[in-house]
Structure 1
């Protein structure tokens, strides 16, 4: 069978999966499912999964790697594979999740590739507010996705990839509008930010120094700092620290690994050094943070 479609429906609830016949990459469309299991555990092996989540008409909380955030009504948040997340009201969520084997334009389209601006070009979690015009565009796209999931033929994968590209373009434009503000968009500088974030995401466990990433990008460390400062972002050093802390919090929340094991996994040879680093950055020592998450 060339196509895999898994449809679970109850009224307007649905969870749809399409597998590309050539690459085996997956696209998952989840709409107003009352059970959060689809978000808590997406069983795609070791594939890197990217998520675009749309909240409905009620504000709610979202937990990302153990941290609680406000998820406003009629807003979108993009999430990368290193983030474990849970919605307070999953029945209000529409989400698109896809693997890099399903959609990736790495070489020529840095803005809208699977490793593009939306996921690696901005600092922190992006909560993007939808005005009525954007809501209408999203409603139209949702309907087109549903129609294509129900049209099983030899060009279904191509159509779904095209629709996903439209979604990514739409949300990328929204992110640029809301997060760049009045700043001049300079493609070369923004691509350096994206490349830096991507490198950090790949190597933060073993490489903690800005100089390493600066050498990789053939840029002086001071130049990186100046570029990030120009967009009011955290310094490169702080971004590396934030990525390490984000993974540490995820491991404390979702595994039973000891502090020593987590320290070693994150590139620290000394658990005491890691504990000091964690406390200085997260304002709690590791054991207190883990207790806090268990009692929450």
Structure 2
């Protein structure tokens, strides 16, 4: 099957939006490849796999996963065409436009598990129609093409965010409580190197630590404190696996004054020492 691919690029601002029906094949085609956010959509009847950081993600038919440039994504295990939308902050900044789409902390940034939504059968035509409108707009390079594509992307993000709220968040939470969870997730992603206590984030959110703990007890089984420590451990694993930095350098970068303290923390979170984890990743290459 022939790949469909399009890209919009504005040299003046470096704004970029790319679309392909086979991201594994076309990953090197796009003009902008760094610091992009992606929506990955499995349009096949069968499942497929992608690797995110150090674990394998299985996408069922009709599922969409969202990844950011903070995550290390590999398509080496992907055996079927995978549809992807890729964009950078210059094209559409989801942080600056969070009031419009309310996706931070749910679809992008700050989420502890990779967000995956399933398109329900009644909505399949709506998503497919939006895909066709994208393709049509890509073929019309006029002065307002960027604005039109931005509107379509915003629509896609909103549709995915609504599904995420329905499928990934328990129904007993109201919008205000969901907003607190979103903001907490984003704050952890921003401050995890310097703020390690729940009380630090409670103060930023103008809530009590107990309120946060009670809220997350409803939302999932992870406590706010565990989420903070998991985020720190995740970054440590990324630095060990994807950089040449030594354990001592990583310890200081993550805010540990003592490398031995960092090693104890890493072993507690992963059951491996930093060196053991590094060696285990080399063995799998």
TM-score band by shorter chain is 0.7 to 0.9
Give deviations 1:14-46, integer Å, cap 9, x for gaps. 44331346643321222214437449x9634xx
Name the SS for the 1:118 alignment partner.
Answer: coil
Q: Which residue of 2 aligns with 1:166?
A: 155
Q: Which residue of 2 aligns with 1:194?
A: 182
Gaps of 5+ in 1: 1-10
C-alpha distance 105-292 of structure 1, shift in aligned 2 (>3 A):
closer
TM-aligned CA deviation for residue 113 of structure 1: 4.4
CA distance in 2, matches of 1:151, 1:134: 27
Name the SS for the 1:68 alignment partner.
Answer: strand
CA distance in 2, matches of 1:168, 1:12: 26
TM-score calculated relative to the size of structure 2: 0.88
C-alpha distance 123-249 of structure 1, shift in aligned 2 (>3 A):
closer
TM-aligned CA deviation for residue 199 of structure 1: 1.2
TM-aligned CA deviation for residue 110 of structure 1: 3.6
Q: Which residue of 2 aligns with 1:219?
A: 207
Give deviations 1:71-112, integer Å, cap 9, x for gaps. 223211111221111122165211112223322365675471
Q: State which of 222, 237, 256 in structure 2 corresponds to 1:268.
A: 256
Q: Which residue of 1 aligns with 2:241?
A: 253
CA contact (8 A) 1:111 1:117 kept: no
C-alpha distance 14-122 of structure 1, shift in aligned 2 (>3 A):
same
CA contact (8 A) 1:111 1:118 kept: no
CA distance in 2, matches of 1:22, 1:229: 47
CA contact (8 A) 1:55 1:94 kept: yes
Name the SS for the 1:103 alignment partner.
Answer: coil
Give deviations 1:158-177, integer Å, cap 9, x for gaps. 11011101111111121122
CA distance in 1, matches of 2:251, 2:110: 28
Do structure 1's residue 142 and structure 2's residue 131 form an aligned pair?
yes
Give deviations 1:229-288, integer Å, cap 9, x for gaps. 121252111111111111111122211211111111111111111111111111222122
Do structure 1's residue 210 and structure 2's residue 198 form an aligned pair?
yes
Segment of structure 1 superposing worse, 59-68 or 14-23: 14-23
CA distance in 2, matches of 1:248, 1:284: 12
How many residues end up aligned between the 2 structures? 282
TM-score calculated relative to the size of structure 1: 0.85
What is the 5 A alignment of 1:29-40? 29-35=19-25, 37-38=27-28
Superposed CA RMSD = 2.7
Gaps of 5+ in 2: none
